[in-house]
Amino acid sequence: MATSTLTNTACANATCSKGASLRKLHDGGGLYLWIFPNGKKYWRLRYRQEGKEKLVALGVYPRVSLKDARGKRDAVHKQLEAGQDPAAVRKTEKRTQQAASANSFEAVAREWFGNQSHSWVASHTRDVQRRLEGNIFPAIGARPIDQIEAPELLASIRKIEDRGSYDLAHRVLQVCGQVFRYGIATGRCKRDLSADLRGALVPHVKKHQNAVRPEDLPDLMLAIANYEQTGDRLTRIALQLLAQTFVRTHELIGAEWQEIDLDAALWTIPAERMKMKTEHIVPLAGQTVALLAELKPLSGTSRYLFPGRNTAKTISNNTMLFALYRLGYKGRMSGHGFRAVASTILNESGKFSPDVIERQLAHCERDAVRGAYNRAEYLDERKKMMKWWADYVDGIVNESKVIVGNFGAIA
């Protein structure tokens, strides 16, 4: 047993002598506390093995206390008595820790995320990162992915359910499943634990985006045409363009004038702004071109079609949704609802191939090469369809005006 000489007080009060580069306080058994001029203190252990003197670091004081340092010293002495090389043991332990860290759920998840995120839109990238970092990493992130058991994963998901976020719980579990499957593919684990939890979560019925019925579209479009009675002109045009082009709301809000070719009557949405990361072409009907011409003076010198108060940024994602609320369509219609209504009416018309409709809805191939090739697929048919659709939307508004006018005259 080594004879100890240091005390807690001596360790705490020890300083390096003025002008010296290092002060060493001996505690016995080869244990030293090294004190530097900057006040930093480190534990070091000297020992001899096979006639050679060696030095091993035992940690930083006071994070490693005097008692802990002595315990580490005694452990090294036991290794020496057993004929082991402490330095070699520490290297093995470090490699094991590094391997475990590289094999942790968080490490595998971040590797998977890095490989996948380049193909996602920015909003989805943020959602996935937030779901992992906020809900999963704190609980099982440091655990080796091949040692995690289903009850551990379920406990993490249960915490989300306890907040009443049942839809989020299902989405987070789905992300975890993708990570586990990536781990299987890269040889880090053997099972997808998310499959073991099938049926264990609180059921959640997916809520579809609100959309009016096709027969209610005339009233909605007439209300939008008269929106300036309660709102602003720019938002009215935004709603009309959304109806005529039935693109996703964020695709319209983020639109830039450089994407619009009025002469060719085409709007080319770059791949980085599309959900499927594939460039998308939107043929522009005459009514749509006229709306864009009306919009241009309102957007001024901004590069965006729909600039916000700060013209370097766009209007909010909620601008059109709140406008629909103001028109009395809260809970009945959303920006995404225009896509559903257009799809229903176009399919029921029997005038266009489902493939043409799906292509214009940008429900395209996930394969990047095929998607790039297909960006202009059915373009001639899509031009005819978009003209028919604009005429249809324009026609129901005009018919509604006539009906309203006639009733007004009768009254």
Domain ranges within the chain, ordered by starting residue: 8-88, 105-196, 214-410
**Catalytic annotation on 118?**
no
- What number of CA atoms fall less than 13 Å from residue 151's CA on the CB side? 0
Please list the residues that pair with 46 across neighbouring strands: 55
Per-residue pLDDT, 400 = 63
Contact call for residues 75 and 2 (beta carbons, < 8 A): no
Q: Where are the beta strands (DSSP E) in 284-361?
A: none
Q: Are 371 and 365 in contact (CB under 8 A)?
A: yes
**Three-class secondary structure of residue 165 per DSSP:** coil
For domain 105-196, the CATH class is mainly alpha
DSSP string, 102-123: HTBHHHHHHHHHHHHGGGS-HH
- Residue 59, SS3 per DSSP: strand
Select which of 48, 78, 95, 373 is catalytic. Answer: 373
Asked about 280 being catalytic, the answer comes back as: no
Where do we find the tokens 């766009």?
Answer: 314
Neighbours of 17 (CB within 10 A): 10
Neighbours of 399 (CB within 10 A): 12
Q: Report d(CA 8, CA 67) in Å as an integer.
A: 9
Homologous superfamily of 8-88 in CATH? Integrase, DNA-binding domain (3.30.160.390)
Residue identified by tokens 């108060």 is 309
Q: pLDDT digit string (tens) for 9-42? A: 999 999 998 888 999 999 888 999 999 999 999 9
253-268: buried (b, 16+ CB within 10 Å) or exposed (e) per residue? bbbeeebbeeeebbbe
236 tagged catalytic: no
329 noted as active-site residue? no
Q: 53 is written with which tokens? A: 């003197």
pLDDT 10s digits, 254-281: 999 999 999 999 999 998 888 777 889 9
From the candidates 110, 181, 191, 275, give the one annotated as an active-site residue. 275
Instruction: Give me the residues of the chain with pLDDT under 70, please.
Output: 1-4, 92-101, 204-208, 364-376, 400-411
41-49/23-28 β-pairing? unpaired
Choose the catalytic residue: 336, 384, 387, 401.
336
Structure tokens at 148: 């995690």
Look up residue 356 and give its two tokens.
Answer: 């043409």
CB atoms within 10 A of CB 395: 12
Peptide bond into 307 cis (omega under 30): no
Comparing C-alpha atoms, which of 287, 248, 244, 265 is closest to residue 389? 244
CATH number of 214-410: 1.10.443.10
Helices (H), 193-329: 193-196, 217-225, 233-245, 249-253, 286-299, 319-326
Distance, in Å, from the CA atom of 103 to the CA atom of 93, rounded to the nearest integer, reads 15
Main-chain dihedrals φ then ψ at residue 45, nearest 5 degrees: -125, 125
Instruction: Reply yes or no on whether 248 is catalytic.
Output: yes
Are 105-196 and 214-410 the same fold in CATH?
no
pLDDT at 368: 45
Annotation marks residue 198 as catalytic: no
Reduce the DSSP state of residue 345 to 3 states and report it. Answer: helix
Using the structure block, give the residue that is written with the tokens 């960006």. Answer: 375
CB 91 within 8 A of CB 84: no
- What lies within 8 Å, CB to CB, of 245 at 6+ separation is 252, 267, 282, 284, 288, 386
SS3 314: strand
Residues, the chain: 411
Residue 202 has a pLDDT of 86
Dihedrals φ, ψ of 247, to 5°? -85, 175
pLDDT tens digits, one per residue of 112-164: 998 888 777 777 788 899 899 989 999 999 899 999 999 999 999 999 888 88
For residue 190, give both structure tokens. 């053997």
